[in-house]
Amino acid sequence: MDVYEALFPAASLSSCCDYNPYHCHPLFCFSTGINLSECFHLLQLQYKTLKVIGAEFGTSVLSYFIFLKWLLTFNIFSFLINFGFLTIPQFLAAEPNNLSFTGLELLTGAGYFQQTVLYYGFYTNATISKIKNGPSYNMQLAYIFTVGLYFVICFLILLFSMAKSFCRNFINPQAHSGNASKLLCTWDFNITNEKAVKLKQKNLSTQIKVQSTGGTKSLLVKALSFVLFFFLFKLFVKGHRNDLESQAAMLVLPVVTSLLNAFIPFFYSWLGRLERFHTPGQHIYVTIARNIILKISIVGILCYYWLNVVAVSESQCWETLVGQDIYRLIVVDFLFCLLGSFFGEFLRRIIGTTVCVNLGLPEFDIGRNVLDLIYAQTLTWIGILFSPLMPGIQIISFSIVFCVKKVSLMKNCQPPRKVWRTAQMTTSFMFLLFFPSFLGVLSVIGVTVWRLKPSEECGPFRGLSSMYAAVSEWIEILENYTASKWVVWIYHNLITSELFFFILSTSILIIAYLYWQIIEGRKIMIKHLHKQIINGGKDKMFLLEKLRTLQMAKQTPSAPGGQGQQVSLIV
Amino acid sequence: MEKAVLEKTHLAPQLVPLDYTHKPDVTLPYELIGSMPELKDNPFRQRIAEVFSEGGDGNMTLDDFLDMFSVLSEMAPRDLKAYYAFKIYDFNNDDYICKSDLEKTVNKLTRNELTPEEVNLVCEKVIYEADVDNDGKLSLEDFQHMIIRAPDFLSTFHIRI
């Protein structure tokens, strides 16, 4: 390969679309509706911000901001789909809103907002047509197909991002302890701040000096965690009995949830310090795992409550109630995030520099912040079915969080002392987003669409036995038209047919097994080739020795008649 | 590329001509390169400048300058980065990273805070782990083999301008 061809690849040095899958998505340019040059200017600003963060704090903290930016782009995409296909047609058939607007609605989501396009209950079940005998828009089908297609697209995007990330970053996790790569491959050339460089050098020398110690983990902590979740469950079951009454009581559930989310992780960190771990890395992983379990249980309990208690209660429009609950959870969680930034970073810096100087500046807690983002995104995904404009609220929330966290980071925090294996952590974040978060949401939505009875008086599915019944009824109507017989055939033989899914699953399992066996075979091949290289090296040394001895023998005066000896060596 | 040229102009406006159509022969001295904000705190700045300069002395022409930032950008493929990282760590330019090269690297990475015994121990561990063909030093192949197992390498061996 010509060196100059290698040095000047076809793409330019711009930031827009590059190796890193989390960098600005091309959709971002078109989706905000502003022209390309303004868009480019905004991207340049973001690029500069990211560069400054990476320069001062390194790639590990930068990965959090890149993840946040990726989620923001994702939400913009979600918002546009829902807005375009559901809200705009609904505006054409909107009923007038007789409620008055007080400021409290921004916090509680109830009141004036109840009769707006924000919630499921406002959407009509009719077929909208403005022009007589013109094209009509079936809101029922539009709702279920938009939401369905959106989740399918999300699934594919997440699956491919995760697979690409795995492919690049998770090669050989069981490799050697990695001292060599730690020394030669992990110096962060991004860092351009003198203090950060000195700190990193000090960390590296400390790491090399420190020996690891052994330790044990106690089962007591596991038991304590289970007790905690039981207690949580009881609290929720008790707490929501009175949330249908006054506006202030509506906020009890979200505030309690956010308080639990905020304070229990501190409890876990404190517990983690009491226990002894083999390596500092294990401490981080265990703390993050506990936080994940906490968040999964909170979301699980909330979903159980919504689907089994609210949905079967006799309230008028349960989907709107669930939507409002999610709205309040998201808003209060956002406020707590800002408060957390204020107390956790700003006040901690004040304390660390004036009152208690040996504490020092706070560090940016990457794991916890990323889990908060994943939790917020999970709530948004659950909320899309009950409130199509939820991604819009999340866009505003994420944008403000980005700015606040950036400012707080620059002013209050110091670069991280621990070494983060950034590529593996980034892949783990994507995996966490996909596996418990997205698949959990899919199961909740699945149960809602297939099993629950929609409310009688509101929403696009009023009067049906389940939301999915809209599709079955549509297929029955299509059976009467010969032109669409193929759609009916696909529906009956591929989508609702168990045999088809059985065959599909079996083939996928067989293919996965074959690929797994190929990988095992290749691992054995790698071992053989490794041995071959070592043996090749030994052969080379042996031949060089032989050459040296023969050359020395040739140089020293040999016995008469010894000239003319031809030495041929096969190399 | 335009950014890199602009950067160079900011560094030394009196030296850099604005018209490159006739390929003028301008060389920036190492002192200017080493004082760039992206490089001034990097412990390897001298080696970076030496590796990318034509004469190996740290004075770079425009082509060298562009090569440097091209290799250190996000676009450059892993093999190219591994090749240049290897050359940067190879202090005595003998196409092998031997023990003395590793000792210099460790000292640069830790600001000479380790004792000679510790440095020795680290270098021996590194060679033991990474030396595949058992010749006591790291060749380019050994280094590339190690890079494959370090997924962070692509993002850390990278300078944004």
Q: Tell me the per-residue pLDDT of A128-165, one tens digit each, with 9 for 90 and over.
A: 777 677 778 888 888 999 999 999 999 999 999 888 88
Of B17, B90, B29, B92, nearest to B65 by C-alpha is B29
Does B125 reach chain A within 8 Å, measured CB to CB? Answer: yes
From chain A, the residues in CB contact with B156 under 8 A are: 59, 185-190
Q: What number of other Cβ atoms are within 10 A of residue A90's Cβ?
A: 22
Q: Is the dihedral of CA A168, A436, A158, A260 positive or negative?
A: negative
Please report the number of interchain residue pairs, chain A to chain B, with beta-carbon separation below 8 angstroms.
167
Single-letter code of the amino acid located at A123: Y
Whole-prediction pTM:
0.76
Query: Two tokens at A496?
Result: 């609702």
Place of tokens 């406002």: A122
Place of tokens 């335009």: B2
From chain A, the residues in CB contact with B42 under 8 A are: 189, 192, 197
Q: What is the pLDDT of residue A28?
A: 40
Q: From residue A438, how far is each of A373, A384, A452 by CA, in Å?
A: 13, 13, 20
How deeply is A409 buried, as exposed, middle or buried, from its count of CB atoms within 10 A (0-12, 13-18, 19+)? buried
Beta strand pairing status for B27-28 and B60-61? antiparallel
Give B 22-51 residues with CB within 8 A of chain A.
37-44
Low-confidence ranges of chain B (pLDDT < 50): none
Ranges assigned E (strand) in A438-508: none
Q: How does DSSP classify residue B60? A: E
Helix and strand numbers, DSSP H then E, in chain B: 9, 2
Q: What number of other Cβ atoms are within 10 A of residue A35's Cβ?
A: 9
CA dist A529 and A76 (Å) reads 49
Please give the angle made by the CA atoms of A546, A551 and A557, to the nearest 5 degrees. Answer: 130
Please write the tens of the pLDDT for every residue from A12-62: 333 333 334 344 444 443 444 445 666 667 677 777 888 888 878 877 888
CA dist A406 and B160 (Å) reads 18
Residues 6+ apart with CB under 8 A from A1: none
φ, ψ of residue A360 in degrees (nearest 5): 80, -170
Contact B41 A191 (CB under 8 A): yes
Q: What number of other Cβ atoms are within 10 A of residue A108's Cβ?
A: 19
Task: With both helix axes pointing from N to C terminus, report the angle between A439-451 and A366-386 in degrees, rounded to the nearest 10.
Answer: 20
Ranges assigned E (strand) in A263-390: none
In a 3-state reduction of DSSP, which class is residue B27?
strand
Q: What distance in Å separates residue B114's CA from the closest CA in chain A?
A: 7
In a 3-state reduction of DSSP, which class is residue A555?
helix
Across A240-258, b (16+ Cβ under 10 Å) vs e yields beebeeeeeebbebbebbb
Identify the H or E element spanning A179: helix A179-184
Q: What number of other Cβ atoms are within 10 A of residue A70's Cβ?
A: 21
CA dist A186 and B153 (Å) reads 6
Q: What distance in Å separates residue A400's CA from the closest CA in chain B?
A: 25
In a 3-state reduction of DSSP, which class is residue B138?
strand
ipTM for the complex shown? 0.72
Does A528 reach chain B within 8 Å, measured CB to CB? Answer: no
A255 in Cβ contact with A335 (< 8 Å): no
DSSP notation for A260-284:
HHHHHHHHHHHHHHHS--SSHHHHH
DSSP notation for A136-151:
-EEHHHHHHHHHHHHH
DSSP H helices in B12-158 = 30-34, 45-52, 62-71, 78-89, 99-110, 116-130, 140-148, 153-156
Beta strand pairing status for A137-138 and B27-28? unpaired
CA dist A370 and B48 (Å) reads 35
Integer-rounded Cα Rg, in Å, for chain B is: 17
From chain B, the residues in CB contact with A537 under 8 A are: 132-135
Identify the H or E element spanning A377: helix A366-386
CA dist A471 and A445 (Å) reads 16
Query: Two tokens at B146?
Result: 């190690």
Low-confidence ranges of chain A (pLDDT < 70): 1-40, 42, 131, 170-181, 207, 209-248, 277-281, 419-420, 557-571
CA dist A513 and A327 (Å) reads 44
Q: Scanning every residue of chain A, which has its alpha carbon at the shortest distance from the alpha carbon of B117?
A: A209
Contact B156 A189 (CB under 8 A): yes
Q: Is the dihedral of CA A463, A465, A468, A473 positive or negative?
A: negative
Query: Two tokens at A184?
Result: 């030669």
Of A210, A214, A215, A213, nearest to A182 by C-alpha is A210
Q: From residue A332, how far is each of A101, A105, A328, A482, B51 by CA, in Å?
A: 20, 13, 6, 53, 54
In a 3-state reduction of DSSP, which class is residue A374?
helix
φ, ψ of residue A415 in degrees (nearest 5): -65, 150
CA dist A146 and A156 (Å) reads 15
Does A7 reach chain B within 8 Å, measured CB to CB? Answer: yes
